[in-house]
Amino acid sequence: MTGRKGSNAVTAFVLAHLSDPHLGPLPQAEWPALLNKRLSGFLSWTQNRIRIHRRDVLDLLTADLARQNWDHAVVTGDLVNISLPAEFTAAAEWLSTLGPADRVTVIPGNHDAYVDVPWQESLSLWAPYMRGQRQPGEDDRLPRSHDDFPFTRRLGPVALIGTTTALPMPLFVAAGRLGAKQCERLAGQLRTAGADGLFRIVLIHHPPFGGGAYKRKSLLDAKAFQEVIAEAGAELVLHGHTHVSGLGRIATAVGPVPVFGVPSASAVRAGHKDPARYHLYTIRKEPDSWSLDVEIRGLNAAADGFERQGRMSMAIPLTSGPQKAYSPSADQPGAAAATA
């Protein structure tokens, strides 16, 4: 995963995106811990999901990812299943296998807030992977509570802005919500990063669109999120949650913002859900735009490895802020460059 730079290379930033690993197996739990919403999740896992979300598939994905050249990886939520404290410990151990915390960013999903769990027993264990700036002018720091979102991580030409839509919901409800305060802070962080000419990538677990017939699984304040993007701007939005591949758009005054979703990183094909895939986004600054190249890598038909399953490219309008050149040094860990 070290960077490469040829004599005619165009410097680039490569971001890997995976989501919803739903790490198994479930740890042993005393019955009192299951006498709440967890019981339905426990039954769902033992009767169905255990056959869909397979650790061997996730291991194949991470092995394939390790063979690629990338600068940073993001995981857009649902690392665990029913929010048992032992699941958060296991997920922290798994995150360390992807890379050090300065090369990996994570945000929570609804399964990471299946029930109310104290901060110190849950997301605090992933805090190094959510280190970032919370307020303009503030130094990077670790999150201190479930309410300490969004955060910005500045990485070369990129600003990763991590949100949370995860909060405990009633039985059989998998919806999410940002809330008015987080939307306000998100707008401020987007404006600041845009003024500095950075390629702004918003990480969100739930897809930022209306729920329709699936309101119980949707982002309840999707309209507010879209208004923030339309007003403050962004270059890319990444999500998980649906367990299918997706490409949507949010309209802004300078053009549509692409919205990509990826399936579960541990899944075999099941019904209308897609098998495991992940994306590699290659970001370059051109004279009059950003270029975004997307490589889709997915589980092959034999379910014994990953392969390239598609590519696409698009131009993203430059923001009005100053555009900073990205020039990773040859010995910078993870500095990736693509040849022209």
Query: Per residue of the chain (340 residues), what is the pLDDT tens digit?
Result: 333 343 344 489 999 999 999 999 999 988 899 999 999 999 999 999 999 999 999 999 999 999 999 999 999 999 999 999 999 999 999 999 999 999 999 999 999 999 999 999 999 999 999 999 998 888 999 999 999 999 999 999 999 999 999 999 999 999 999 999 999 999 999 999 999 999 999 999 999 997 654 789 999 999 999 999 999 999 999 999 999 999 999 999 999 999 999 999 999 999 899 999 999 999 999 999 999 999 999 999 999 999 999 999 999 998 755 444 333 333 333 333 222 2
In order, the DSSP letters of 56-120 are HHHHHHHHHHHTS--SEEEEES--SSS--HHHHHHHHHHHHHH--TTTEEEE--GGGGSS---GG
Closest C-alpha among 103, 96, 95, 219 to residue 166: 219
> Cα–Cα distance between 76 and 58 in angstroms, integer?
15
Answer whether residue 257 is part of any domain.
yes
Answer whether residue 3 is part of any domain.
no
Residue 135: per-residue pLDDT: 87
Answer whether residue 124 is part of any domain.
yes
Structure letter (DSSP) for residue 157: T
Q: Tell me the pTM.
A: 0.91
Which pair of structure tokens corresponds to residue 232?
Answer: 């403050």
Residue 330: per-residue pLDDT: 31
CATH of residue 301's domain is: 3.60.21.10
CB 5 within 8 A of CB 338: no
Closest C-alpha among 253, 248, 203 to residue 227: 253
Answer whether residue 132 is part of any domain.
yes
Residue 11: per-residue pLDDT: 83
Residues 6+ apart with CB under 8 A from 140: 131, 132, 133, 153
Residue 215: per-residue pLDDT: 84
Answer whether residue 304 is part of any domain.
yes
Q: What burial letters (b/e) apply to 102-130, b meaning 16+ CB within 10 Å?
A: ebbbbbbbbbbbbeebeeeebbbbbbbbb
Residue 211: per-residue pLDDT: 63
Residue with tokens 């699984």: 217
Residue 1: per-residue pLDDT: 36
Answer whether residue 4 is part of any domain.
no
Residue 320: per-residue pLDDT: 52
Residue 324: per-residue pLDDT: 42
Answer whether residue 1 is part of any domain.
no
Domain range for 175: 9-339
Strand 199-203 vs strand 158-162: parallel, antiparallel, or unpaired?
parallel
- Number of structural domains (the chain) is 1
Answer whether residue 53 is part of any domain.
yes
